[in-house]
Structures are given as structure tokens and as C-alpha cells.
Structure 1
């Protein structure tokens, strides 16, 4: 697949497998929820609400990496419908409370993709998905529909005449051959006298030891219920409960086809009582269609604040789909009574109006997703920031890394939870930032504090100015990413009056230069004695054998050379000035697109050695603006918008990573991007459409126009803001958030003078060039 996509990009061809969707209104196209469900996109097509707790979606596989979300478009059978999913991640988990509506003999194992008939898998047809709703026909003759409220999944299953049954499988989850311990160590299902089915399980997949609880009701009481314990041993007739590690229940209906069977299932991360409370609050009555209409209305509000004209029909669908995928995570993790499980493992209660969230893919999403939300959903950002502050204070590890359902996974490097906090503070979003400071300070300066893999080597980084390659794996990327987190933390410290700590952090944020060898112009592994690793090959991900086999995080020497986002003029000087730095960025995009055999599939979407399918370099196309050559940014951004995204299941060049890839497209298609979110400015690129109108901030209207824009006019020759000439190649967030009129003059030929003057180049590290 990877070779096929590289060949595609090399040819410049764009395949369109699905027709353009119908418009909801002028300029707004229906999202294609199957974008990203093929290839390596790792998205799912099922029903959810913006940032909702429940993601009710079909599962087709639990073993392949490309089925991290539980679904892949190429699969031909469905195991059932589960209530929690991850969107676009590179690691799988969740898939809680699988519901399997079917007929015939009871089967308790799913079978395989190759042989669905060996289990309860079912082939399927007539699949349809739209925001808040999913429908499919199963080979058993059952027609299944799904919709949601925030905490409740709703099913409507229409059976043919005659008997049928519904399997509830709590043993269903993402599998991985590397797991050595039992993936579920305790579970139970019970039914009460009123027919409410409840249950829980504790899972040790990615988020080790997370608990999930559910409460489920059916519109028609089953004629009998059969419970199965470990080993699929049937419990005694009349049993009302089963406990073990891999438990199941079968709800039998002697005449399942008499009328549709509706299911409403609430979940909770706290306890069964929380799930029951969520069900009672959000699931009143049995009107499936009304719930579906409300879900659709919620999504129309969330997507309707951005309208575009121009571009192609497919590009409008891609934009609408990207805006949809950018509002799936973080996911709600607090019950209607305000309780949630903190990262300290304790149950906490929120202040009135508060919310707790999960699925923060921060190594990815700090770059574009959180900045996008500061424009289009500042109220949501306020809620997220308050939550990140609370959870940072509660976590034994301090600032958030990759928390998932009450567990800090520590996945990826750094502690990038500080970045959205610093960004929000810089953009004027009110919050108690001081409440997060003790946790940030502990992570920054207390080298006896507990580490996960994400923060190893902090003491060496502080003492030597870099993480040495002979001591800690992924040392080069760690040095640069720790430096960026220092930069963000320093802003928070300064804002709350911690001047001495801010000075220390600002100074340490320059440590990136200690792993950039100016003599060769590359990021390079460095030993504790100060020497550089030789011989050096920028194509390689690492040099030494395991466990230090990677010197970079999901990158190689080429890509890691440009990790610095916050001190760009210092790096330009470090590499010999504007011309040398511009040539280096040119070389990145023009180098042979070869990777070593041990490169992970995350490194995808190559243009030269630039990898658009992974996050570390996604700001790099915009770096030309810092050397006065924004016309090169314009050409490359337009190419990436056109070549890396398609209206097709294989339409995202890499993992969507909880909306980061999608957010990059939304911002870049509008014409700007935050190279350093903490700087609170956007660098201009090349808008994709002739006109975009969106609501920003406090319902202000931002109009972006590029008259006559088309495939042959990628270059910006002039910009005006509110009718006045704007000579800068960037614009502050403070301007855009007030609303106004941004106009781009587009051309087939570049204007090499636009943005060339030193005064017109973007700020970095709070200063301008020269």
C-alpha cells in the first residue's frame, strides 16, 4: 500500500473512487465518513456526537494494525457494533460492549476474516454513514441502524420473521501478540428484575487497567437470557449474573421479527451507577428517529459554521469530512452527575458546568487541532483547558501526554499537554493556569519524579543540554521536543509570575541547537562525552542496536532536522543564514524518497524526505516564509492539499491521529497555519477555495476570499485585511478572532517580493529577523 501511495504522489494523479456528496446548502457538502477508513487512516464510520463519550460503530477486525479503530473499509464481514472507538490512532484499544444482532444457532466466537462462517461474523451490504447515524444490512437478514446521544448508544435492529438473538460480548477487544498479560482480568454481566442489563470489565490493552461500565435496556424484553462464563461455559438456567474474565450474554427473542428491537446502552468510566444515571438522563422514551434527528442537528451546527465556494466538489467534501474528523476527539469522560476517574485513579467531581475528557493525542494534536479549535470552538477550548489543568494536577506524571479513559499511557515523547495551555493563555482564553504550575514545575525540574518513557533523560537534558544517544533511546527527538515543552512552560510561568523559573525554562528551550550539528546541517545523535555519532546517515532512524535502535521518534535525520518550531531565526543563523537554510528546506523536499527497512509505516506521504503522513514535520512547508520566500510555501502547501487528501476511503495519507491530519487540511485549505501555536500567529500558505466564510470567536464572521482561485493559481501575490493592504506573510490570532475580511490575490506566477522584507516575516521566539 505504501509503495502504491508513493507512486500515486509521484505521478501527480488523483484517483476519486466515490462520487461527490450532495450539498446541504450552498458551499457546504456532506462529509464522507468513509474517508480514512481505508489505507492507514484508522478512522471509523459509526455514529457519535462532537467530542462525545460514545462512538457506536461496526467492528470488522481486531488484529491488524490497519484496524486500530476496529474497522477497515476493505473487510467484508462485521463482527458486531461496539460503543467506544479511537479515531485515527496508531495504537488500538476500546471496542467496549459488543452487540451482535443475528439469527440461527448461537455462536460465541467471531470466526475470522477469511472464514466468517466459523463464528458470529456476518457479511454485509448497503452500508450508509452520515454524522450521527449509521446503517447496514447483515447477511442474517437483520437491518441495523445506529445513532447516539453524548453518553448513550442507540440501536434499531429489524429482524426477519421468526426467532433471533442478540449477543453481548464483553471479551471483544483489540488484540496484540505483544501483550503478555491477560487483556481482561475481571468482568461481569447481570440483569435485574426490570430487564436492565448492566456490566463492567477491566482491560489491559493500551491504557492498562482502564475500567468501563455499561447499562443497557431493550424495547422488547427477551424471552430468555443465557449467560456464558470463561471458556464459554453456559451458566445454569435462570442465572441472572455471570462473572469472570471473558463473559457473554445472549438475549433470545422467539419472534424477533415481530417489530424492531431497539437498544439503548449508556457507558461510564466511573461505575455501573454512573452508567445507569447516564441512561436515565439521556435515554427517555424509545423514539429512535427523534434521537437521530437531534444528532444530525447537532452535527449541522458543528459543521455549518464553515461554508466554502470554489474548488472541486470532491475538495468541498474533503473539507467537510476533515472538519467532522477534527471534532471527534478529545472525547467526553464525565458522567451526567459530574463524576469522572482522574489520572490518579480516584473518582473526582467536577464543578458545575465542567467536563472531563479522554483521548488526548497531544503529540499530534497540539500542532493543528487545538489551534483550529481556538478559532472555531473557543468555548470547547475553554472546557478542554480547564480539564487539562485539573487532570495535570491529579496525574502523578504531571502535564498530560496521552491520557486514555483515566490512564496516562505516556505514549510518544515530551509532555505536550503544556502546549495547548500556553497557546490558550497567549490567545486570551481565561483559566486558572497557576493551578497547573506545580505539576509543570515538577515535570520540568524534579528529576526524581516518576517517569514514563515519554520523559526519560530529563536530568541529563538539564545537566548536559541534550539527551545523550548512548544513554536514552530517541535522544535527538527528545532533546528538541523537551525544548519545545520548555518554551511553552516558560510562557505559563511568566504569565503567572514565576519569573525565575520562566528564565530557566526560556534558556533551556534553546537546547534544540545542541543536537543540530551545524558542520553538516543535520540533527545528529550525540554521546554523553559531547562527541557526535559517526558515520552519519540522515536516512537512518537510528545507529545503535536495540534498545537504542532509534535516535528519532517516528522520523529520521532529515525529518528531525526541522523539529524546532519556536526558535526558527536562531536555527537559520545556526545553519548559516537565509540562503543556506532555504537551500536546506529545498533539499528536504527534493531528496530521494528512500527509507530504511526498519522505518515504521507511520512515515508516509513522502515528498522527498518530508513525510506529510506523520506529524513531526507538518509545519515545515511554512518555514520558507521565515527566509522571505513564502511563494515556495504557497506552491508546496497547494501540492500537499491536492495530493495528500482524496474523497476516498484511502483518502488520508497517514493515521488521522484524532483529527490532526484533518485539522492540517482545514487550516491550510483556508490559507494559513500555526507553525508555533504558542506564538499565537498564523503563517499564510495557499487557500484552496475561492471563498470561505466561518464563525470565529464570539460568533464573529471571518470571510476569506481568493477570487478566481483555481488549480493553476497557487501563488499569493498580495493580501488585504479589512480592505487595507497587508504586506506581512502572517497574521496574528488576535486579528482573525475578531472577524473581518481576508482577501488573497492569486496568480499562476509567484510574487517573490511578497513577504520578502524582514519586517514582513513571521515572528519566532517573540522576535523578528534582523
Structure 2
């Protein structure tokens, strides 16, 4: 055959374009990792997550509410519950304080009821299905199937009622959950309603306007005030407003609900812009596509071998999952790689739930001053759990979501404009002042250090300094004394340690902005942590010039924030090498780390349930511990760090309901796993070094926004499930001999390959170049301390003045005057026989410490 005689060569350009188009489509198509996400992880135990429908960083989190109160009801849902009250539009992911669960919708049948004990319904776990952007369940009481999906600002419900139902209701409950300050519901027409829920809980004054449209007309309605129907009323306002809408044999009703903090019109605009029709499947598909694109920013392969298991249980919830229809039992391989990948992608999913969008489609939002503002050229966000998330969540997002990170910082600066303060823990249009520190600062500095600079850096720097120079939460004591004194403020040890880290971040920003005077000021302040260290190498509270007596490192008391001396002793990520010296050198430091992980000492005192996931006194369930295992990289035996990293990842994360060691905390608990499983971790955001850890997958590809890829390979990950150790490394095909990666190594793309085996290779690890973390400029002199701290005495006693530093001279006064180098030089204990105020300083090379003061009052 002579094909050239019949082939139309004019088609070649067309075919070329078609081939190119298919090629481009193939390149753009992302691998779908959504089947590896299990939204039920963390809904049991104390994870405080929710399983409902949400898109990345969405304003709407449409999820079932099964629990009305209690610590384990913070998200409105707990895996052990069997009754659902309805489906509300806002939820918090893994917090330790309850809030949200606003604007509850509940489909029912029969005569409408307004008490939640009457309209609620039992449901069965086996009938729940959850995946990114989708949730469904069955209401046993009413035989109604419920499906939920969402866009950024709109929740979409689909209710399937039994055929022939003449009283098919939707209950709207605005009283649900927390205290209502004001609310109203208005019937617009037989397809639309709108309203407001203004409430008070953790957020003291929160507005949620809503606008709802229904795919079918309701035949009748009723609005109740204080659970009593108000006949003929189209709009009712009050603190206990509920409504019902009733349909006549609708079979299926699709409900779309837009929300806004600004107005009902804003909610309507959000609704019309994001969901113009009632095509539930289209919204669901779009939500899934959004998640496919987000999750594909990190692509992983392998991670563990398949192992035969005679008792394998397969269910829709994953291998070994305790709920769901059992599909198969018996001899079968357990795909541990799939289990590990499920843990990873669920963790990544959790990392992308918060912060939450708070500005409407037109940019308007309600600010921290309760006024309406407009975000110009950026999206305004809320729900920043910064005490938690600055540690790993935000460094992760600085790698994979730089545009959104920039918008976070612009949101911070807007909050500063509205309230003269960078955010601490903003929720909706409120500053909760929850937790300690000023940790929007490391988020800003880390982003700027990593090249995210399309924000007003000068304003940011001014705002940072304003944050740490205000007189609140012991900051005045910190500046005056070089430490927060227990006499002045509770949680003084934790606050001093975290304020010092924030000051180090400001110093780094000053250096980048070439502000020399500011750099010297804040690099000094970043060393104030030294004033909390005892001669025994533990941090302790300073009181009346001395230490809190009878230090028990495992005791949780009011000198610490959700921790104890064991944990906060290691809270010096900005100056690790000096911390080593304070403990007696590298070997002593390693021994102290060993003891932290192996001690049999139990938690004592007032330990909250947040302090969980214990390995010795290491508490992975709470964030101050999260960097500690990586500190072994500074020691002579980093293999110990590998051992504990493997233990944490394998024992404290799972694909079960209680698969988190503690509260999810808006992504931080999961971000630790994501970063650690990739094989590197930034212990001090704002610093460019990432500690090399233990990559958990055969291959992990980070698709960077600059178009480059950073690939981490560990072929040994499939040899053993958990117990493998580094044997060698290459970076871009060249031998690599460092226990850290620089940020540019990752950001510029490349290939990082590690070789692992099942035996520890201490010789290899010892020879690797150690990371650096040491403050060398503007060294401070540690404040001396007194041998006694009791404020009253009966019998005369001798008071010693001591220092944790050897090369200092101590000068003191007993007449209340401020000591100088012209004061009396301390050489022997001071006899205290009457009420006396003693003040002392330590001096080294003409540099003086802060004044240490104690007043000892003679009593009967």
C-alpha cells in the first residue's frame, strides 16, 4: 500500500497541535493522592479533628456536630459518639479550646422539633464516608442520606429523603453550641433565607452571616423564638432563634449556604460567585480537584514492605481500621507502605486546613477592631495557632505555599494596623491572647529569610518591636530584669525562653534590613534565656533573687506553659551550642538528652492532658518538645536521634481514630510528621539550616512553586518498616557529609539521596559536619542569684551570692541602692539579721549583668 497517496499532509499542523495539547494535558495532570487521606484520623483520642467537607484553607468547614461540650468536643465531633445533632459550617481543627460550629442545619421528617435532644438522630460509623472535600452519613432516625461538600466560602448539602415524605424538614438552629449575643433569621422567599449568628465563646464577639438557597421550594416554614413558633413572622431576632422549612415529598434537596463575617449581602455574593447552580457533583468534583492539586505538591513512593498477616482486616476506613463494613478477613499481605502513605497524606491534608480564609470574594472582612475592612490584593486569613504552628507548619508552607504565606503576613500587618499588635492567636475577628510568646514574629522572619518579601518589611519590623516592647504578659519584667520573674508573672520560665527566641528572630530581621543598632539590642535580649539556667543545667523560676526551691524537673506548675523544666530546659533552638556549655559540654548535653528520653520520672503537679505522647519526659503530644530529638545532631552520637525519630513516627502516628499523640493544633502535629518523614526539620525558623533526619519513603518529590523539584530518595525505606539508619548521603550525585541541609539546597531543586541499613552506623554519623547554632555577638553576663529565696525568716542566716558563670566578679549593696563596680565586692556570705534588701550584679570585662534583687523580712 502506498499510504502517502491517501494521507492528507495538510493535517500535519493540526495533528502536531493536538499532540502538543495532549502532551501539555499529560504534564499538567496531577496524581490523585486523595484516596490516601483518612479524615477520621485524629477524631478519636485527643486529636480534636473533624471529618467534614472543606477545601484547603477554606472559610467553610462543613461537618457533623456530635458533641456539644467538653474538652474532647472542641471540634464538635468525636469518633466515639453515636448521635448527630446536625451539620454546621465552621469548625476548628485540633484546638484545645472549643469554638465555632456556627449555623447548624439538620434534615428531619415529621412534625418539626426545636430541641436538639428531639431533632438529633443516631447514626452508625459504618455508614460514614469522608474524603477530601466530601462527607456523607445516614440518619437512622429519619432514614435520610446526607452528603456534604464545600467551596472556599460555601457549604453545599444534599439530603435524600424517603420517597413519599410529606413532612420533609430542614431545621436551622442558631442557638447551637456557644453563647449567642444576637441572631436573626429572615425568610426571603420560598427558595431563600438569610440570617446572622453573633456569638461568644473563645472568640468574644464573632459574626457569622449566612445566605442559603434551596434547589426546591419549601411549602411552609416557621421561625421560633425561645423555642416557641412566631406565626406569620418572616424575620425574627433574638438570642434563641431557630427555624424550620418544610418540603412536600422532595426526594432530594440541595442546599447551598454562603457565609461571611461582614453581612448577609456578603454571604450572598460569596454564594453566587462560588456556587452559581445546584450541581452538587460539580462542586464535589471541583473540591476534589483542588485537593488533588494541593496534595500533589509532595509526591511520595514506597515507604515499607508488604508483610503477610493472617488476621488482616480490610474496610473502607483502611487496613486495620476499627470501623466499617469488613470486606475480607484471612491471610493476606498488609501493605505497610500504603498505611504509611495514608498517615503522610492525611498529615499533609491536616496541614492545609488552617489558617482559614476570612475575606469575602470582594475582599471585605471584619477586622480585629470589629470594623469592616477590605483586603487589597491579598486574601485575609484568621485562625493562627501561632504558638504551635510557627515550629513546623509555617516552615512547611514557606516551602510549598509561598503565595499564601505572603498573604498570612499581610494579614498579620492588617491586624497590626487595626489593633497596634501583631497577632498572638487570632480567631475570627478577635484576638484571644491564647498561649505565650509573640510567634507571628518567627513566621515573618522565616519567610523573609527564605525570600518571601512582597510585603512591607519596614512596617513588619516596626510591628515586631512594638510587640515585644509592650507592657503585657511579663514583657516589662523581662526587659527590666533580663528574665520574667516568678514574682511578677505566671509561666515565667516558659515566657522567658520563648521571648528570647522571638528576640533572636528580630535580631535576624534587623541584620537582613541592615539595622545595626537594633541587631545588637535584640541579639543581647535573645540571650536572656541564660538567666533561667541553674548550675545543675535545668531551667527554674526566679523568685526574690533566688530560685524556686526544691526543683522537680518533671513537675508541671504555674512557672511553665503546658510543660515542665525537662522540656523547657531544651527550649533554646537559637543558641544550642551555648546551651551545651551550660550543661557542662557536649558529652553532658548528650547525657541530659538521653535522660530526658529514658527517665522513669513521672509527670507530677498540675499536668494537663495536652502533655501526652510521652517517651520518658519527652512529650510529643505538645509542641515545646517538637525540636528536641533533632538536637542529637549536635552531639557525638546522632544515631540516638534517629532511634527516637523512628520511634516517634512509628508509635505516635497511625491511621487509626486516635492516630495523633495530642491535639492536632491547626496543623502543627501533622506538620512535624510531614517534615520529619521527608527527612529534614527546621528547629529554629528564621535560620537557614534544616536538620537531617530520617527520610521515610523510597522517594519524595517536593514540587516547588519556582518550577523546580527537590527529591529525597531512600531506597532502604522498603527494606524495613521503621528500623533503618543512615549509612551514606549524596546531594546532586556528590557525596554529602553534613547533618543539615541549607534552605537553598532545597529551594534551588535537586536530588538528595540517603542510603540506609538496619544497623546503626555510628562511625559514619560521627564524622558528619554538625549544624551550627551559637550566638557569639554582644555576649551578656548572666544575672547572679541568691542561695535563699524565702521572703521571711525567723533566725539570722548567711546569704550566698552565686553565679552560673565562673569568670565574673559580684558586687552588692544592702542599703537598697543600685550596685555598681564601686559597690562592695562579694567575697563571703552575707549575714542577714534584720529585714534587708540585697541587690547584686555580676561583671565581666566591664560588662554588667542585670541587678538581682531580694528582700528578706524578719518575722515572728
Structures share a fold, TM > 0.5? yes
- Is the 2:583–2:589 Cα contact (8 Å) retained in structure 1? yes
Match for residue 253 of structure 1 among 221, 237, 247: 247
What is the aligned length? 708
Separation in structure 1 between the aligned mates of residue 608 and residue 556 of structure 2, nearest angstrom: 10
Counterparts in 2 of 1:624 and 1:767: CA distance versus 1, 3 Å = farther
Q: How does 1:270-669 map to 2 (within 5 A)?
A: 270-311=262-303, 312=336, 313-352=338-377, 354-396=378-420, 398-430=421-453, 431-447=455-471, 451=472, 456-517=473-534, 519-527=535-543, 529-542=544-557, 550-592=558-600, 594-596=602-604, 598-669=606-677
Q: Residue 227 of structure 2 aligns with which residue?
A: 232
* Contact in 1 for aligned 2:646/2:722 (Cα 8 Å): no
Q: What do residues 33-83 of structure 1 show as CA deviations (whole Å, max 9, x unaligned)?
A: 100000000000000000011000001002121111000011001110000
Offset at 1:120? 2.7
1:756-767 equivalences under 5 Å are: 756=766, 760-765=769-774
TM-superposed CA distance for 1:766, in Å, is: 6.6
Which shows bigger deviation, 588-597 or 261-270? 588-597
Say which SS state the counterpart of residue 589 (structure 2) adopts. Answer: helix
Q: 1:496 offset after TM fit, Å?
A: 3.1
Equivalent position SS for 2:526: helix
* Structure 2 partner of 1:17: none
Residue number among 65, 68, 77 corresponding to 1:71 in the alignment: 77
1:39 to 40, 45, 49: 45
The answer to which structure, 1 or 2, has the higher relative contact order (CA under 8 A, 6+ apart) is 1
Partner of 1:11: none
Q: Distance in 2 between matches of 1:108 and 1:595?
A: 46
Q: Which range moves more in the overlay, 620-629 or 43-52?
A: 620-629
Is 2:206 aligned against 1:210? yes
Q: Structure 2 length as normaliser, TM-score?
A: 0.80
Residue 545 of structure 1 aligns with which residue?
none
The residue that corresponds to 1:166 in the other structure is 170
User: Separation in 2 of the partners of 1:662 and 1:168?
Assistant: 34
Q: 1:659, 1:573 → 2: CA distance?
A: 34
- Aligned counterparts of 1:480 and 1:727: Cα–Cα separation in 2: 32
Residues 668-705 of structure 1: CA distance to partner in whole angstroms, max 9, x if unpaired?
Answer: 11111111111022101111122212212413112111
Q: Which 4+ runs in 1 deviate beyond 6 A? A: none
Q: CA deviation at 1:26?
A: 9.1
**Contact residue 191 and residue 216 of structure 2 kept, 8 A:** no
SS at match of 1:661: helix
Deviations 1:196-239 (A, max 9, x none): 2111122110010111111111111111110011x212112x21
In the alignment, structure 1 segments of 5+ residues that lack a partner are 1-23, 112-117, 175-182, 543-549
Q: Tell me: CA distance 1:767–1:662, structure 2 relative to 1, closer, same or farther (3 Å).
A: farther
Gaps of 5+ in 2: 1-29, 304-335, 778-860
Q: Deviations over 1:612-634 (max 9, x none)?
A: 01100110000011123221111
Seen in structure 2, the aligned counterparts of structure 1 residues 620 and 60 have a Cα distance that, compared at 3 Å, is same
SS of corresponding position for 1:157: strand
Q: Does 1:91 align with 2:97?
A: yes
Alignment of structure 1 residues 130-145 onto 2, 5 Å = 130-139=131-140, 140-145=142-147
Q: Does 1:120 align with 2:111?
A: no
Q: Could you tell me whether the CA contact under 8 Å between 1:630 and 1:754 is conserved in 2?
A: no
Contact in 2 for aligned 1:189/1:243 (Cα 8 Å): yes
Instruction: Report the equivalent of 2:856.
Output: none
Tell me how large the CA RMSD over aligned residues is. Answer: 1.7
Aligned-partner Cα distance in 2 for 1:367–1:762: 18
TM-superposed CA distance for 1:395, in Å, is: 2.5
Q: Is structure 2 residue 216 aligned with structure 1 residue 220?
A: yes
Cα shift readout 1:84-118 (whole Å, capped 9, x = no counterpart): 0000111110001100001123221212xxxxxx4
Hey, what does 2:682 align to over in structure 1? Answer: 674
Contact 2:302 2:697 in 1 (8 A): yes
Q: Name 1:739's counterpart in structure 2.
A: 749
Aligned to 2:238: 244
